[in-house]
Structure formats: C-alpha cells, structure tokens
Structure 1
C-alpha cells in the first residue's frame, strides 16, 4: 500500500475555545494559542528559518501530556508536529498542533548495565555529563545542544561513529505515543516491526516520550583539529581522501571547509579567512594517534593544531559547532566513493568566490557504520562518505542557496547512493524535486515497509508535517 492510497477521513470539528480550555485542564504543561504570551518563544527552536505557526501548542511536561495532546489532535483532525531543540527542523507547522518536549529532559544512567534512559527533550550534553563519571560515553553527535531522540531516530553519526556504528543500532527500548493516543513500550522482542522501523525511519510514526540505549566504555579520546589555510585546501583534500583509505575503525574524522565572513563578532584568527578544518576522534592511545595523523600534518604548516588526549566530556570541543540559534538550509549526499578532483570542484564552487556562504563537511563513514542493519532501518550503510552542505540564510536568499548546493552536489553525482535524513535542513518538501529527495533516504523496499506500517498506525495521517509525506506517493514521512 502507498501513502496516497489511504482512504479520506471525514472532517473533524475544529477546536473551540472550550475545547482548548479543556485540553489545558488535562495537561500539566502550558497550552498556548497564537497571541498568547510565550507562544512565540515556545514555537521557536534552534533553526530560525522556518518557524512553526501552529494553531495550538502543548508544552508537554510528561508522557501523559503527550497522550492527551495526540488524542486532542485526533479528535479535531489537527496534524501533529514535535519539537525538542529544533536543530533539525525541516518543515514549519502551519496550523495543526505542536508538541514541544523541552520540559521532558530527564537523564538516568545505569553504570552496571551501561545504559542511559532519557526523556524526549534531553540533549546530548546532559548524557555525556551523566555518563562520564562512570567511564562511559553515549554515541552522541558533535554538538552538545542537539536533542537525543530526533538525532537517534535518524540514525545518528557521531564522534565515535566508525568505532561503534549508528546510535540507532544501540537503542534498547523506546516509549512511543502512536496516532491512536496509546503509549507503547517498544523493544526488539516485544514489537520488532515497529521498533525496527523507528530506528532510522521513525520520524512520523508517533511521538517518542523516552528512549533507552547502550553506553560505550570510553573515558578519553585523542582528538581535536588540524586547521590549514586557503593555500593548502587542495592538498588537504587529496591527502584526506588517501588517508581515510588507511585508518583503522577506531579513527572517526571529518574535514570542513569554511569561508568565514569578515565580521567583527568572529575571532580574529577566523575573520575573512578560508580554512580547512580536519576533525579527529581516535579511541586508541595518544601515541598511536600521533602516528596516524602524521600524513595529515605533513601537508604543510597549520593555522591551528590542538590534537591532544582529552576526557570524553570535552569531545564537543573537536567540532566547535555554533551554539546560537540561526537560520540555515542544508542538503547532503551519501557517497559510495569519491575522487579528489570532484572534491576540489566542490571546494571551488563553495569557497570564497561562491555567491553565498556555504559550510562543506565531508565525514568519513565505513567501519562499524557499514555493519548489517539488524532490526533498524538506517539507509545506505555501504556509503564511505557523507558530503554535507549548510548555508546560513539572510532574507530571501533561499533560491541562491539551493542552486549552489545543487551545483556542488552534482559534482559528486557519480558516487551518490542517497541522502541522510539527519542532514536535511529546511523545507525540502516544497522543492520541485521533493519526491526525489524523499525517495533518496531509503531504498524502495524500506519505503514500502514504512508506508504499510504507517497506513496501519496512522490512517488519519496526524503525523504528516514532514516533507516526504506530502511529497511522495511511495514513501513514508521520513524526513525530520
């Protein structure tokens, strides 16, 4: 069955003031309507480009609030969107009901079982901090402010990715509110189909209220950055591609190309410069790490070099992701291979002469990321690299940004396997090629399985505020 085969449902009555007042009495968190004090702050996340404009917001204080909100939405045919931190916001909710989960931020670590249980609004920095005293580490991403749940549902490629694989592969249990307003506790044993679909394809299958996952026995890393100036960019890219063919699975790395604007708020050493940042995270010894990075240091003089042994709690300093909310748009390609000439073309297109600023990041995949899927639905595991493009948005320059991204990604088209759901930022469901974007996240078999599952769980299509749901007739709302 395809999503467009779902039978139309009779229209439900629009909520009245009495209805929303009853909802407010039924939940512990705030219920906000347009014009209320706090409405704008509640709907705004880290991504400022496409803010939600819901008819109703429920600031959930717990799983019971989520259940009440979903049942209310079903009774009034209000499509549902969910926001924790709003980093990966891909579609603004115009109308409908927005559930915010930032108040649900609990984190509990079991050091004996080596697991963590988190509520829906927890961020990775909390988990790293809670696990570190026990010599343990989660499979977190590069930014401590990113929400745990959405990152993990999309797969999760993080600081330890090549050593331990996708974060989704280490989930033990999920608490999920489905479209019927039922709170389910899912494990691979109790409901293997739905549990597996969530892990890599879970955006749009319900609202996760809690998640339990394994922690890794990692207390320290050898890592940091090597930073090269513009004159060495081509050599860095060639050396990096050669180097990634030689390193062990314990080495996770990426290279980022950034043409920094000449702005007074930037540090002087970055202002107006075009730099290549090599990011290193190695779980072996510092001595062996020094040996492994020697070919990269040999490229030439560095603008910066802070590779060192560090406690895992400092792993966020490797990438130094921005912490201030801003507007941006991004696209990506998962690649089976890549050659240096194509990567240099991407650099030329997106560098200082580009019509708009573009941050380019190439992640080395493989290692444990290439392991068989198990119960999860993460797509394109054969990819060796992920090429990510992200541009800040200023005013009405979305067309310029999208055109630049398309031209840069065309340079790597011969090696493209698909896209990562976690690195699609912006309203991709409104693109002319939205159907292709949706199909690129999973293969045809996974799309059919997800669509069939969704048709059973959500025939009313409450969870339809995801670009792929509206864009494609043969795939589920897979884009978060």
Structure 2
C-alpha cells in the first residue's frame, strides 16, 4: 500500500480533517503559539474526539513514525518533522459538577472557558497567569497557578485522565486504577500518551485582591530586594512574582510604561481589599509607581494581573529553581538580564513555598528568562540565556518543564527537568508503556 493510499485509509477512520504538506489548511493546523520552532509533520490529524486521536496513534505506530500533540493555547511542539501531528483544538467540551466541585475539560480547552463555567457555581480552577493557556498541557507540566501557594499545583487536583497510549488504546486512568501511568503522565507530560480529557477539582474562590505595581528602570534593584524581603513573611494566601520587562515603544503599551525597562510586582491574594491593602504596604513603600492596579476583582478577571500578550510569536526561554534569592544572585540577574544585558530579556522571579512544598520543599523561587527571537538572533539569545543560568547554577535546585521554551534538542533538557532519580523511574515506566518510543518529540524520556 502506498503512503497516499495509507493516508486515505487513515482519513476514512477519523471524523476530523487530515492534512498533508501543501494542502489547504495544513499551515494553519501546524501553526502554534510558539512560532520560533518550525514544524513540518508528514501527516496532521485534526482530532474531534478521542477515537480520532487513537486512530492517529495507531497509524504512527504501524509505520514507525513519531507522534506528538499540538494541544492549544501556548502548547509547544518541539519539531514534528516527518512524523504525525495530532491537533486537539477542536475538542472543546467543558463540564462542571458543582456537587463534587469538579470539572471535565477536553484536550482543546483554554483555561478561560473553565474559569467562566466554574464561576457560575462560585468555583475556580487552579489556572495560571494567562486564560488562553491550554488546560491539559499546563496541568501535565505541573500547573503553577495564581492560587498555588494556597492550594498547590494544578496537577494535584487531577482526579482522572482519558489518555491514548502508544498501543492506540483509550484508557480512563486514575490514581487507584493505574497508579504508575497516572503518576507518569503528571510527571512526564506527553512522553506516555495523548491526554484527551482531564477531570480535576475546583476550589471555592470567586474574588481576589490583585494586580500589579509597576516601577521605573532606576528602581529595578530596589524592587527585587524589597519584594524578596517582603516575600519572606508573605502568607500562603498570596501568590506573587516580580517581572523585569523591556516594554516596547508602541501605542498599545500604556504611556507611563512605553519604551522603559520596568519592574512589575504581581500579586494575587485570597483576602478582601482592606486586608490586601495592609499586606502590600511594604511593597508600595519601595518607591513611586508608574502604575498601581491593585484592587479587588472577580476571579474571572485574574488574567489582567499579568496581562501577558495573547498573540503568537517566536521566543526562547529557560528557568531554574532556587532555595534562596541572595544579593549576589540579584546582582547577577541585573547584569545579565537587566537593561544593559546583551539581549532584551523578560526576567521573572516567582515565589514558591506554601502549598508548593508538598511538591518540592527545597525550591523557594523560580527564575525564568524569556526573549523574543528571529532567525538572526536565536543563537545570540540562547548564548545569553546559557550565560545567565550558568551564573545562577551554584544556587540552582532544579528546573521546571513548564518553562523550557524553544529548545530544538528534546533530549538536552530532560535530565535537568526530571532529575537523575526521577528520570530513571520514568525511563522504566516508558519501557512499559511506550517501548518503541513513539512519543519522543518533546523533552524525551528514553525507554530504559
């Protein structure tokens, strides 16, 4: 059977569309939020249901091809050249069960849809800073939310996963029925299958006190040190970060920030406005602000806290977790990711601790770097990021899978992301569930 007839057979087995290079709709289906990592799969299946995903995986396995999922939101495909790409953006069903405070979301759902549906019942998910991020990919990466210091990672709220494994079978997986696979999916992301739906818990949150304090370029060091000192005694009810951002000189940027390398302290506090005002007094005392947007808000507006850009673009990023944020670390950050750095860099420091200690009690902060790239600057950006994180290595306690963006070599980051012990355990499970390494295109775990 020729490849053309094989693909015709595949198309007859799925309800969604099937694309090949050069066909109308192929480029749109392949395009993702991360435009800096080109992808040229041999076949794209636009899945509309779990059975479509299963057919695509069986096709890939039968022909010895790698298969990867292009979920939705900010989902990253680390190169699918010559393989099978499964697009799940058409799978958008959301169900809320207020009696059990749970939600079920298919693989193409954005957090914004869950936030809106849950709010009708006085509930909220452990969503992140951007409502246009996909539910499944975010959660499989751990899920570091705006409520995380109170409730922990989103992965801890997962009750069940519907997943297509490498044998092309659809499984309903829980911690009780298949504990090994359940843990591997939540720890190893898309190395073990394509998750077609998630069931997860919601929390009783309707409002929060939050927003941002924006400071000018001459205050960057004071902001980092002041925020660190304040964070040392911050209650678990507050999730917070500080970002240094080179703002473009463009009309859509608020005038006080336009063209400036600013620092933004981000706050999401589970308390009323009066308590919130008292909580942030030391932050306001750091100095004059360019903008102060802190206020009580419905959780449905929580995406306004970070106001991250919703448009696809090319970027590269990396991160490290640390147990402390010392003055020498801050000096290093300012030198290598501040206004005088060799490349423009968005630098974020997140406070962990609180509910996150159930996952990792050694990590107190994450330090993240992200830069816009093009064909001419990609190598320069990668070198600058490598220099930054090499300098921070003495304080490093690990790395988060969620915040590794744009690496072309999917094997390079795996040891740092999973750790030596974790990688050995996951490699054993990989040999059990995917011995042919069909799912090998994203921070791959090799079968042991």
In structure 2, the residue matched to 1:384 is: 364
Whether contact under 8 Å (1:44, 1:86) holds in the other structure is no
Describe the superposition over 1:147-200 as per-residue Cα deviations: whole angstroms up to 9, x where unpaired.
100110010101101010000011000001000011000011101111011112
Select the residue among 414, 432, 435 that pairs with 1:456: 432
Please list every run of at least 4 consecutive aligned residues from structure 1 whose deviation after the TM superposition is greater than 4 angstroms: none
TM-score by length of 2: 0.97
> Could you tell which deviates more after superposition, 333-342 or 63-72?
333-342
Supply the distance in 2 between the matched residues of 1:93 and 1:305 (Cα, whole angstroms): 44
Aligned CA RMSD, in angstroms, stands at 1.6
Report what 2:335 is aligned to: 348
The separation in 1 between residues aligned to 2:241 and 2:126, in whole angstroms, is 16
Structure 1 equivalent of residue 300 of structure 2: 313
Distance 1:289 1:213, change over 3 A: same
Report how far residue 19 of structure 1 moved.
0.8
Cross-structure match for 2:272 = 285
CA distance in 2, matches of 1:124, 1:282: 19
- 1:262 maps to which residue? 249
C-alpha distance after superposition, 1:2-31 (max 9, x if no partner): xxxxxxxxxxx8x61111111111100000
2:87 match? 100
CA distance in 2, matches of 1:53, 1:350: 33
CA distance in 1, matches of 2:399, 2:327: 21
2: distance between equivalents of 1:266 and 1:241? 27
What is the alpha-carbon distance in structure 1 between the residues aligned to residue 283 and residue 77 of structure 2?
36
How many pairs are equivalent? 448
Report the Cα distance in structure 1 between the residues aligned to 2:20 and 2:121, rounded to whole angstroms: 44
Alpha-carbon contact 2:211-2:294 (below 8 Å) kept: yes
Equivalent in the alignment of 2:399: 419
TM-score, normalised to structure 1's length? 0.90
Q: CA deviation at 1:350?
A: 1.6
Cα gap change, 1:74/1:353 in structure 2, threshold over 3 Å: closer, same or farther? same
Asked if residue 409 in structure 1 is aligned to residue 389 in structure 2, the reply is: yes
- From 57, 60, 65, the equivalent of 1:78 is 65
Q: Partners of 2:221 and 2:96 in 1: how far apart? A: 44
1:440 aligned onto 2:410: no
**After alignment, is 274-283 or 199-208 more displaced?**
199-208
Instruction: Show the 5 A alignment for 1:52-451.
Output: 52-85=39-72, 87-89=74-76, 91-371=78-358, 373=359, 380-429=360-409, 435=412, 437-451=413-427
CA positional deviation for 1:137: 0.5
Contact 2:191–2:440 under 8 Å retained in 1 = yes
What is the alpha-carbon distance in structure 1 between the residues aligned to residue 175 and residue 419 of structure 2? Answer: 22
Contact in 1 for aligned 2:107/2:136 (Cα 8 Å): yes
1:50 is matched with which residue? 37
Q: Do the aligned residues in 2 keep the contact of 1:88 with 1:422 (CA within 8 Å)?
A: no
**Contact 1:346–1:409, Cα closer than 8 Å, also in 2:** no
Cα deviation for residue 450 of structure 1 reads 0.8
Query: Which one scores higher on RCO, CA 8 angstroms, separation ≥ 6?
Result: 1
- Greater CA deviation, 199-208 or 255-264? 255-264
Per-residue Cα deviation, 1:315-342 (whole angstroms, up to 9, x for no partner): 0000001001100000000111121331
Contact 1:334 1:419 in 2 (8 A): yes
Per-residue CA deviations over 1:37-90 (Å, capped at 9, x if unaligned) read: 000000001110013210000000000100111111111111101011262415
Do the aligned partners of residues 381 and 396 (structure 1) sit closer, same or farther apart at CA in structure 2, a change above 3 Å counting? Answer: farther
Distance 2:361 2:106 in 1: 28
- State the alpha-carbon separation in 1 of the partners of residues 163 and 361 from structure 2: 26
Contact 2:316–2:372 under 8 Å retained in 1? yes
Q: Which runs of 5+ in 2 are unaligned?
A: none
- Distance across 2 between alignment mates of 1:37 and 1:428: 27
SS of equivalent residue, structure 2 residue 307: coil
Shift of 1:381: 4.7
Q: SS at the partner of 2:394?
A: helix
1:124–1:148 contact (8 Å) kept in structure 2: yes
SS at match of 1:446: helix
